[in-house]
Amino acid sequence: MKPYSHRKLTSRASAVALSTLMAPAGAYAQDPANVGTEPVALDAIVVSGEKIRRDLKNTASSVTVKTGKEIRRDETGNASVRDVLDDVPNVIYTDTVGAPVIRGLDAQGPNNGQNVFWGGTVPRATINLDGHYLNYNEMYFGATSVWDVERIEVFRGPQTTSQGANAIAGAIVVNTKDPTFKPEAAYQAEIGNYRERRASLAVSGPLTEDLAARFAVDYAGRDTFIDYDNPRFQRGEADQNFRALNARLKFLWLPTRIPGLEAKLTYSHNDSNRPSQEAASAPFRDLEHWTTTMPSWKQKTDTGILDLSYDFENGVRLVNQAQYSHSAVNRYTGIRGEGDADVRQNNLSNEFRVVLGNEKDRLSGFGGVYYAHTDTDESLLLRGLSAFDDTKRNLGLFGEVNYRLTDRWTLNTGLRYQQDEVQRNGTSVLAPHPLNYAETFSALLPKVSLAYAATPRWTVGALVSRGYNPGGVSLNLTSMQWAYFKKESIWNYELFSRASLLGNRLVLNTNLFYMDLRDAQYNIPVVISPGVAQSYTINAEKAHAYGLELGADYRVLDNVTLKAGAGVLRTRIDEMSSNPGYEHNRFARSPGYTFSIGMSWDVNPKLNVSAQVRHLDGYYSDTANTPAYSVGSHTITDARMSYAFNERVQLYGYVKNVFDVRSPTYLQQNRGIGGIEASMTSPRMIGVGVRGMF
């Protein structure tokens, strides 16, 4: 990996960002008379992930929005949320299985690998699906379907003020479609190489005058692209292939006799299977692995959500969301008793909010309270039985006020008090003493932004917010002692710009950020013997990251749209007294820059052609910045085509990774093979499908 030129890249990035932030509106102006045929304007984007609906142009947080229309048109062949986020600036996945890394912060949290079982989980980001916060295993080993999705909002930077604990890096908010009182239905069927297959159905319509229902189901599966060639490979009950079944049923009640009341009941079922990773041994390009085992994770989750709201029609609205979920997870290694695990979890939560006004009012805002209770029972068979009981209680008191000081100046202030109680008790066969951990963490989390509307179509502003994540425990296998780590916090500073230009045909969104981390949590590897290592979690007193995110949408013609995104990221650990050798290192898995550009062309009313190119800079796989684990840059190209015979029948095809780029995305030592293994970019994937609406 070639180290980036810090000064050169930063100077160029700053120049581009500042020109976007500070250039006068006239610099973008163009006389419509000189344009020719006036292209159609881009649709306005609404953001709701911060507990109140507002236009993207009025949102200070760095956010990328993927609409259902965009996913349907430009993301054929992508079945999960993980798949459609590949082009989001400063958000990367380093394996086909796993959690995102947002601005260099690993969403799975500091505990990873075996320490997730010994010490429990402390995620740094959350995926919110219709109000259900996915648990660790759902986020890491699950597959959130994008079928029948209304929109996906990807927030970068601390979202603790709006989302609560475990959102210090950001949040991914997924909203699926609600029932309609107009009958509608959609279907999809798809096949591809690696035995890729997918079938989807959605049906919606009224049951009575006041009651509507919607049913959606999606199945997606494929074979792993890794060949396990070792004749001693133990498959057993483990299944290295990918499978996901997502089903959802919604009821919407709008009683005409009680104007203003809205009730929505959602039940969802998720059943998935994933390997622990898709990695190859050298030579990596051959996509073969000499390991003797590859554990797999099978999980089922059932979730019920009840949404109630009442609009007093005077600017005041009451909102309550109650949620319950149960998940069952099984880990299979292929060798009975050598790492098989069972995890059972129950989660109950409730959030109540009072909403005042809307973004067009001079004064608007909301206030509320959130409570969640999670019980987890875990057992692991490895050299005997290890078992843990884990309980988490989360309380959040939050509020936000949006005040339009003048026609141009708007002040937004938010505050959250967060309290998180963590209890974990159990025994490990690898530790001489049982674990009895009980700690309560709390934090006061402010958020302030000031926006200035330079013109009706160009807004600039500044944002300051604070994020936090609870502390926890991990197991140091060298000393055979439990190692405790403190909570971590971030002060986040941003400058932002929102511009709608050329008659709303060009939309530019820019965020410059600086994040000051205190007591940042890091998982540190420790070599036990040659080729054998383990890890535990410690705190770094100081660390920082800075960079920018830039998004652009341009309707070139009424039938041609361009979409581009870019991210720049610089990270450094400033002080780590417990391990000074890591000071001045970069964060693991934090590429210096990301870039993507895509085009969608309606050749005629029936034929659409689209393509996307995305580039990822190199990075280190580990916090130690081990040269042997450095990952090089790579560029991936996707192409798609669809032809609609009519509304009911549309044929489509896709080629993902057109040039079959096979590049490592994560490198680590595998003691089983006595060498390095590499998670890989997915090879060329080709598929065709049929879909329609009726």
Q: Give the Å distances, CA to CA, from 50 to 134, 160, 348, 365, 492.
A: 17, 10, 21, 11, 16
Q: Which domain holds residue 234?
A: 6-693
Nearest to 96 by CA among 691, 569, 682: 682
Q: Which whole number is the average pLDDT over 349-375? A: 94
Does position 15 have pLDDT exceeding 70, yes or no? no
pLDDT on residue 196 = 98
518 in Cβ contact with 542 (< 8 Å): yes
- The predicted structure's pLDDT at residue 220: 98
Residue 259 pLDDT class (50, 70, 90 cuts): very high
Q: What percent of the chain has pLDDT over 70?
A: 93
Average pLDDT of the segment spanning 332-356: 94
Q: Tens of pLDDT along 85-115?
A: 999 999 999 999 999 999 999 999 998 888 8
71 token code pair: 């996913």
Residue 498 lies in a domain: yes
pLDDT score of 11 more than 70 = no
Tell me whether residue 97 is in a domain.
Answer: yes
pLDDT digit string, tens, across residues 260-277: 999 999 999 999 999 999
What's the Cα-to-Cα distance from 275 to each of 119, 169, 642, 683, rounded to whole Å? 22, 26, 32, 17
Residue 338 has pLDDT above 90, yes or no: no
Whether residue 18 is predicted with pLDDT greater than 60 in this model: the reply is no
Do 624 and 585 touch, CB atoms closer than 8 A? yes
Tell me, yes or no, whether 142 lies in a domain: yes
Find where tokens 């159609």 sit.
Answer: 40
Average confidence (pLDDT) over 318-339: 95
3 state SS of 118: helix
323 has pLDDT over 60 = yes
Residue 46 belongs to domain with CATH number? 2.40.170.20
In the chain, the percentage of residues whose pLDDT exceeds 90 is: 82
Alpha-carbon gap, residue 148 to 202, rounded angstroms: 7
Amino acid of residue 129: L
Helix spans in 85-205 (H)? 115-119, 136-141, 160-163
Query: Is residue 222 one of the residues assigned to a domain?
Result: yes
Q: What is the per-residue pLDDT across 45-76, written as a single tens digit (0 to 9) for each?
A: 889 889 888 888 889 999 999 999 999 999 99
Q: What is the pLDDT of residues 380-416, one digit of tens each?
A: 999 899 999 999 999 999 999 999 999 999 999 999 9
Pairing of strands 409-427, 435-455: antiparallel
Residue 535 placed within a domain: yes
pLDDT score recorded for residue 35: 37
pLDDT for position 526: 65
What tokens appear for 82 in the block?
A: 């993980």
Q: Quick one: pLDDT at residue 16?
A: 40
pLDDT average, residue stretch 213-218: 98
Q: Is 84 part of a structural domain of the chain?
A: yes
The pairs formed by 183-186 with CB atoms below 8 angstroms and a separation of 24 or more are: 184/693, 185/693, 185/694, 186/148, 186/691, 186/692, 186/693, 186/694
Which of the four pLDDT bands, split at 50, 70 and 90, describes residue 360?
confident
Q: Is the distance from CB of 373 to CB of 393 less than 8 angstroms?
A: yes
Helix (H) or strand (E) holding 180: none
pLDDT in tens, 617-655: 999 999 999 999 999 999 999 999 999 999 899 999 999
pLDDT of residue 39: 65
Number of domains, the chain: 1
Whether pLDDT at 38 is above 60:
no
Nearest to 602 by CA among 644, 640, 560, 638: 560
Comparing 592 with 11, which gets the higher pLDDT?
Answer: 592
111-160 pLDDT, tens per residue?
Answer: 888 888 899 988 999 999 999 999 999 999 999 999 999 999 999 999 98
Mean pLDDT of the chain: 91
Each residue's pLDDT tens digit, 454-486: 999 999 999 999 999 999 999 988 888 899 999
Least confident of 226-240, 389-403, 471-485, 587-601: 471-485
* Residue 1 maps to a domain: no
167-206 pLDDT, tens digit each: 999 999 999 999 999 999 999 999 999 999 999 999 999 9
pLDDT digits (tens, 9 = 90+) for 549-572: 999 999 999 999 999 999 999 999
Mean pLDDT of 294-305: 97
pLDDT, position 30? 37
Full DSSP string of 477-497: TTTTEEEEE--EEEEEEEEEE
Does the residue 192 lie in any domain? yes
Tell me, what amino acid is at 130? Answer: D
pLDDT at 327 over 90: yes
- Planar angle of CA 176, 177, 181, nearest 5 degrees: 160
